[in-house]
Structure 1
Amino acid sequence: MEGMIELGRQDTDPSRRAVLGAGLFSVALTIPGWQDVIGRAEAVHAGRMSRIGMNEVEMVIAMTERISDLDDQFGGRHARPMAASFMVNTVALYLRADATDEVREAMLSAASDLAYLTGYMAVDEGVHGLAQRYYVKALELAGAADDHLAYCTTLRGMSVQAVDLRHGAKAMELADAAAAASPKAGPRMFAFLAGQQAHAAAQTGDRVTALRKIREAESSMERAESRSRAFGSYDPSSLNYHVSQVRYELGDVAGSIEAMRQSDQLRYGVYRRARVRHRATLAERQLELGHLEAACATWHTALDDFPMVQSGRADDRIKAMFGLIRPHIKNATVRDLYERARKAAPSSLVT
């Protein structure tokens, strides 16, 4: 477990030895029984607790869920320092404590989920080397826990990072590995994995595989939705995003716009960061077809949420917007958008 401890120290200030810090303390307030959560964490740091149980596992799971909620709403820059601090100051100590085999395996799984989330937030910030180190640690922890779900989810996350960086072949390799790591996946997870395989295949120009995989994802999603609607996991909005990406990579810009609109309409309101990014992407594609005023209207909807989001990926889309609208600055609609965006965005994105 020392590798995990060292990784955490690279990503947080080790001098901040308050048990959870102000940020994490406020997150803990939202967890039922938070007084007990704080007390247990204090006991670990004070050396009064040498053995952990399922209560500690449940606390790590709950904290990871709350940090994930913050990430969805406000972006990785706000939430990642909390996750890194929690990992090095609390979870790493739990992993070194005595426990039954059942508790230890469960704690390894919980730690894997936290490492994956922290890596995902590093991707959102654009700190890709650090993200990869967290992802590798998440794989190691999932493997030690024999947790196939966490293992394949992390591989898929690595594929998403690769495809966003335009490394299509590597993205396909990782997406295929994720699917192979979970041979007994349920329909929602199968759709989750097939959608990513479709996106990666489309980026490599493999039209046949891309279309086959997106059909498989759609079929699996139909089965999943007929059973239950799962909030916070792969859902119809996510599927439509993959459909949009596949269509765009295969040259169908108009089709990609329609699918992205569908994704936006179906997205749960809590996903503010995704809303900014995907609406800005939609605007870029509208402009690509020459629909300047429609694109400006869509960019305005992205700007509605942008000031509340601290995200490197969202910043990239707003910076791209400035570059795309600058040649049209004499247009009154564009000037209105430019002036609004200039006031809402950091100066580093405007220039």
Structure 2
Amino acid sequence: MDPSRRSILGVALFSAAAAIPGWPDVRDRLDKVRADPHTRIGHPEVHAIISMIEHISDLDDRFGGRMARPLAAAFLVNTIVPALRATAPDDVQNAMRSAAADHCYLTGYMAMDEREDGLAQQYYRKALELAGAAGDHLTYCTTLRGMSVQAVDLGHGPLAVRLADGAASASPQAGPRMLAFLTGQQAHAAARTGDRPAALLRMKEAETAMEKAESRAKAFGSYDPSALNYHIGQVRYELGDVSGSIESMELADQLREPVYRRTRVRYNAMIAERKLQVGRLEEACADWHRVLDDYPHVQSGRCDDRVRIMLSALAPHRGNGHARELYERGRPMLRAA
């Protein structure tokens, strides 16, 4: 799909999301599932499911949503849904609902990465419902934040702000890392709408919270210095500081763990796009070559988008040898994808 069409398609997609579900609205809303009196689960089964969810999350980080989501969908149908129906004490049921909410959030994120944005919305809404039934504020807030990330990506700045603010307001007792996780997205969303004071205030709050952050967080709800600098770079870019955004994004890339290959593709592609924007063509080509080194190893619609952007941006510069070489390298790779 042409990335420029996303904002058009996103209008219908987000029309149903205009009313942001508040925490009281999702609490205890879960539809009754048909209980299976012949199956019982306890905490060991829940822990095993959580371990599998973390493994699927790792596969997603390494190889992209298109590779990992079929496994996630099958695990949901074949293992998680039967576990939700099983007989169990209340504390086990709530733990299972919380794990299921995490998994629906993760699967929604993978669908978004594939550019299956409508499907992502369905998973996100089920994650909110399950989190409410489990009394799980953390996953509820993480999911609203994920919906804000998607809204920014699709060009819906005001809605992204509302979703990010909804996530932050629903987590008044968040720890410092979670606070940074939420306020960093608030800053990016505010910057997308051009609200400079709010963006800078939220970014400062995120930086302060990160300084106090604990050393460990949930596998796919974590926030680290690399992610913080990514948000600083995005805020700088939205507010017109292209050179500053390049510096922040390069620092984000340096701080990122090597296993996150998909993120490396996206970060380096954005860096290259912005270097070209300020006239640093040969540096941009070097960054894009690094993108193409990693690109065959990920299955991601968002990464496909970045390679399409690269080819479009390079087309006018094919008189330059570096740009022509890169263009000829990248064109067949995108066709193959």
TM value normalised by structure 2: 0.87
Change (3 A) 1:335 1:67: same
Q: Secondary structure at the match of 1:50?
A: strand
Structure 1 partner of 2:254: 265
Structure 2 partner of 1:103: 92
Structure 1 partner of 2:12: none
Aligned: 1:298 with 2:265? no
Whole-angstrom CA distance in 2 between matches of 1:238 and 1:106 = 28
Q: Shift of the alpha carbon at 1:228?
A: 2.4
- Alpha carbon RMSD of aligned pairs, Å? 1.4
Structure 2 partner of 1:168: 157
Q: Shift of the alpha carbon at 1:231?
A: 8.4
Aligned: 1:235 with 2:224? yes
Alignment of 1:325-336 (within 5 A): 325-336=314-325
Structure 2 partner of 1:146: 135
Q: Secondary structure at the match of 1:300?
A: helix
Q: Shift of the alpha carbon at 1:230?
A: 5.1
Q: Secondary structure at the match of 1:71?
A: helix
Structure 2 partner of 1:128: 117
Deviations, residues 79-127 of structure 1 (Å, cap 9, x unaligned): 0010111101111111111000010000000000000000000000111
Whole-angstrom CA distance in 1 between matches of 2:46 and 2:170 = 24
Q: Which runs of 5+ in 1 are unaligned?
A: 1-46
Q: Which runs of 5+ in 2 are unaligned?
A: 1-35
Alignment of 1:67-216 (within 5 A): 67-216=56-205
Q: Secondary structure at the match of 1:185?
A: coil
Q: Shift of the alpha carbon at 1:339?
A: 2.2
Aligned length: 300
Structure 2 partner of 1:54: 43
- The residue type paired with residue 282 of structure 1 is I
Instruction: Report % sequence identity.
Output: 64
Asked if 2 retains the 8 angstrom alpha-carbon contact of 1:109 and 1:150, the reply is yes
Asked if 2 retains the 8 angstrom alpha-carbon contact of 1:198 and 1:210, the reply is yes
- The residue type paired with residue 71 of structure 1 is D
Asked if 1 retains the 8 angstrom alpha-carbon contact of 2:145 and 2:182, the reply is yes
| 4+ aligned runs moved over 3 Å, structure 1 | 229-232
Q: Shift of the alpha carbon at 1:342?
A: 2.7
Whole-angstrom CA distance in 2 between matches of 1:347 and 1:326 = 19
Q: Secondary structure at the match of 1:216?
A: helix
Q: Secondary structure at the match of 2:39?
A: coil
Structure 1 partner of 2:333: 344
Whole-angstrom CA distance in 1 between matches of 2:119 and 2:173 = 31
Whole-angstrom CA distance in 2 between matches of 1:163 and 1:114 = 22
Structure 1 partner of 2:15: none
Q: Shift of the alpha carbon at 1:229?
A: 5.5
- The residue type paired with residue 246 of structure 1 is V
Whole-angstrom CA distance in 2 between matches of 1:347 and 1:301 = 18
- The residue type paired with residue 157 of structure 2 is G
Whole-angstrom CA distance in 1 between matches of 2:108 and 2:336 = 28
- The residue type paired with residue 199 of structure 2 is A
Change (3 A) 1:231 1:89: closer
Whole-angstrom CA distance in 2 between matches of 1:143 and 1:200 = 25
Whole-angstrom CA distance in 2 between matches of 1:49 and 1:202 = 53
Aligned: 1:317 with 2:306? yes
Change (3 A) 1:174 1:262: same
Whole-angstrom CA distance in 1 between matches of 2:76 and 2:129 = 15
Q: Secondary structure at the match of 1:310?
A: coil
Q: 1:248 aligns with which of 231, 237, 250?
A: 237
